[in-house]
Chains A and B, each alone.
Chain A
Amino acid sequence: AQTVTQSQPEMSVQEAETVTLSCTYDTSESDYYLFWYKQPPSRQMILVIRQEAYKQQNATENRFSVNFQKAAKSFSLKISDSQLGDAAMYFCAYRSADSGKSTFGDGTTLTVKP
């Protein structure tokens, strides 16, 4: 079974600075997808960014980018120019190419300081 580990329960960043959230996963599969979701206090799950395992190029979405290291099974999220609205719980998720099920990490609570 796949597992997803987020080793940082809490992180904080100064507004306009850059922060990196860590995620590692364990799988024996070669084909899969990785996601970062944002969960603000409203508790709605919002997709931030996604990465296909077969792509070497790291995904980027505006201020959000990932550092995908397939051999190390690492998938970190970098948030540049942090904004107050980025404050939320962030979940890393794994989805197998053989299954519709997503496996989530424990989450990292990000605080943005003005």
Chain B
Amino acid sequence: EPEVTQTPSHQVTQMGQEVILRCVPISNHLYFYWYRQILGQKVEFLVSFYNNEISEKSEIFDDQFSVERPDGSNFTLKIRSTKLEDSAMYFCASSEGQATTNEKLFFGSGTQLSVL
């Protein structure tokens, strides 16, 4: 089965530094998402992206966050100035069609971000 690939699997950074989390969605998918999960807490929606635009974003996704699809395959999440509370597992997901249908979301295996 095709997979969503996320790199790196672990990222350690100093508070205030910029980080870029990378994702390669499944090749024929058109809708992309970022979620995060703080250790021991629920999975939270950050942002959805379609046609090179943000479709929807949560309150968590403030000005410190941005997403980009720099080429035909990668989908990135940038955090400009990391805070301690940004430490979490970040999941990328993609779907072939709109998630407003019963479309299946495929999740990557996550990037564990640790902010020191």
Q: Are B42 and A107 neighbours in the complex by a CB distance under 8 Å?
A: yes
The residue that A104 contacts in the complex, of B31, B43, B99, B100, with Cβ under 8 A, is B43
Given known A100-B33, A104-B44, A105-B42, contact A43–B100 (CB-CB < 8 A): no
Q: Are B100 and A44 neighbours in the complex by a CB distance under 8 Å?
A: no
Q: Does A97 belong to the interface (CB within 8 Å)?
A: yes
Q: Does A65 belong to the interface (CB within 8 Å)?
A: no
Chain B residues lying within 8 Å of A105, measured Cβ to Cβ, are 42
The total of Cβ contacts below 8 Å across the A-B interface reads: 60
Given known A42-B109, A45-B91, A45-B107, contact A104–B42 (CB-CB < 8 A): yes
Number of B interface residues at 8 Å Cβ cutoff, please give it. 28
Given known A43-B109, A95-B99, A106-B42, contact A101–B104 (CB-CB < 8 A): no
A47 and B71 CA atoms in complex are apart in Å by 28
Nearest residue (CB) in A for B91 is A45
Q: Nearest chain B CB to A9's CB is how many angstroms away?
A: 10
Number of A interface residues at 8 Å Cβ cutoff, please give it. 24
* Listed A/B pairs (28) with beta-carbon separation below 8 Å: A33-B101, A42-B109, A43-B109, A44-B108, A44-B110, A45-B43, A45-B93, A47-B104, A47-B105, A50-B104, A95-B100, A96-B100, A99-B99, A99-B100, A100-B31, A100-B98, A100-B99, A101-B48, A101-B56, A101-B99, A102-B45, A102-B105, A103-B45, A104-B44, A105-B42, A106-B41, A106-B42, A107-B42
Residues of A that sit less than 8 Å from B by CB: 33, 42-47, 50, 52, 91, 93, 95-107
